């Protein structure tokens, strides 16, 4: 949760994380250390939590924000219950709580939620517009990240297959082509891969807005050409332990 103290310029935040989103929450804590914001508490509801009332009741009333890593129906339930309890706190998170696959089931409670991801159905690329139109025509909904990532995998595979002249049975050549793939106009925008096989490309900051009669993840900022290390030095980053609930440690925690 994020809160801005009355006697300080430091915002304070409370991450509320599902067990599967530990990496996202730890990344968030790492980034907080470069700002005046302060993480004041974290909690990890179980994946099968039937109700979030006991967790929401712990939230302090003057928080500036809550970072949530819930996914699937859990994200929908958490955000809905948060608003039902009267909280108007700013919602932040990864893509999962407000993925397009969930937005169609949400109401005004999701408005204003700010998340980060490599995709949004609102991306203004010709290939994405065509993809979105096709999904809308077939399923009557906007595609979310889960649909988009499958398409992107197909784009990369097609690119590599062409690079080896269709000889996909040559595993070594195909593997090399996959790692060296550079797409200038993929569904998500320009992308390539680092030496570890992780994608390098744009990261988009999205804000839930109402467009016509539906809610969308409008792109409000783009960070181009982001690797898994972002602004951190690779060698220093790799010296750290694997992310967990305890690492990196959060500072300024409150009772």
The pLDDT confidence band at residue 48, using thresholds 50, 70 and 90, is confident
Residue 3 domain-assigned? no
Q: What is the pLDDT of residue 60?
A: 82
Among 58-67, 99-108, 220-229, the range scoring the smallest mean pLDDT is: 58-67
Encode pLDDT of 126-140 as tens digits: 999 999 999 999 999
Q: How far, CA to CA in Å, does 168 sit from each of 78, 95, 162, 199?
A: 45, 33, 9, 21
| CATH classification of the domain holding 28 | 3.40.50.2300
Say if 42 falls within a structural domain: yes
- Residue 33's pLDDT is what? 58
pLDDT score at 37? 59
Q: What is the mean pLDDT of residues 165-189?
A: 97
- 112 assigned to some structural domain: yes
Mean pLDDT score of the chain: 85
What confidence tens digit (pLDDT) does each residue in 204-248 have? 999 999 999 999 999 999 999 999 998 889 999 898 887 776 777
d(CA 115, CA 121): 14
Given pLDDT bands bounded at 50, 70 and 90, which one contains residue 31? low
- Letter string b/e over residues 147-175, b meaning 16 or more CB atoms within 10 A of that residue's CB: bbeebbeebbeebbeebbeeeeeeeeebe
Of the pLDDT bands very low, low, confident and very high (cuts 50, 70, 90), residue 1 is very low
Q: Structural domain of residue 174, as residue ranges?
A: 12-238
Task: Judge whether 251 lies within some domain.
Answer: no
Cis ω for the linkage preceding 64 (within 30 of 0) = no
Check: CB of residue 96 under 8 Å from CB of residue 20: no
Q: Is residue 231 part of a domain?
A: yes
- Average pLDDT value for residue range 157-178: 98
Contact 44, 19 (CB under 8 A): yes
Structural domain contains residue 209: yes
Single out the residue of 133, 88, 142, 136 nearest to residue 110, CA to CA: 88
- The answer to whether residue 44 sits within a structural domain is yes
Q: Which of 245, 254, 255 minimizes the C-alpha distance to 29?
A: 245
Q: How many separate domains does the chain show?
A: 1
What pLDDT shows up at residue 190? 97
Q: Please give the pLDDT value at position 5.
A: 39
Q: What is the pTM of this model?
A: 0.86
**Cα 7 to chain center, whole Å?**
32
Within a domain: 99: yes
At residue 202, φ and ψ (nearest 5 deg) are: -70, 145
pLDDT band at 6 (very low <50, low <70, confident <90, very high): very low
Rounded mean pLDDT, 50-58: 89
């Amino acid at each position: 949760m994020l809160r801005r103290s009355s006697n300080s310029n430091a915002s304070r935040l409370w991450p509320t994380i599902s067990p599967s989103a530990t990496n996202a929450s730890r990344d968030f804590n790492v980034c907080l250390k470069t700002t005046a914001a302060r993480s004041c508490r974290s909690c990890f509801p179980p994946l099968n939590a039937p109700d979030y009332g006991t967790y929401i009741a712990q939230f302090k009333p003057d928080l500036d924000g809550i970072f949530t890593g819930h996914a699937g129906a859990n994200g929908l339930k958490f955000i809905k219950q948060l608003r039902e309890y009267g909280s108007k706190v700013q919602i932040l998170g990864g893509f999962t709580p407000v993925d397009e696959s969930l937005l169609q089931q949400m109401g005004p409670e999701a408005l204003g939620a700010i998340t980060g991801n490599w995709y949004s159905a609102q991306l203004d690329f010709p290939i994405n517009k065509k993809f979105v139109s096709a999904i809308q025509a077939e399923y009557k909904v906007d595609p979310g990240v889960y649909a988009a990532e499958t398409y992107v995998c197909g784009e990369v595979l097609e690119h590599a297959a062409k690079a080896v002249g269709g000889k996909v049975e040559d595993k070594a050549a195909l593997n090399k082509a996959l790692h060296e793939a550079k797409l200038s106009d993929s569904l998500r925008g320009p992308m390539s891969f680092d030496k570890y096989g992780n994608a390098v490309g744009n990261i988009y900051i999205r804000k839930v807005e109402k467009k016509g009669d539906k809610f969308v993840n409008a792109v409000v900022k783009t960070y181009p050409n982001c690797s898994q290390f972002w602004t951190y030095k690779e060698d220093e980053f790799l010296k750290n332990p694997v992310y967990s609930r305890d690492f990196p440690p959060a500072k300024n925690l409150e009772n």
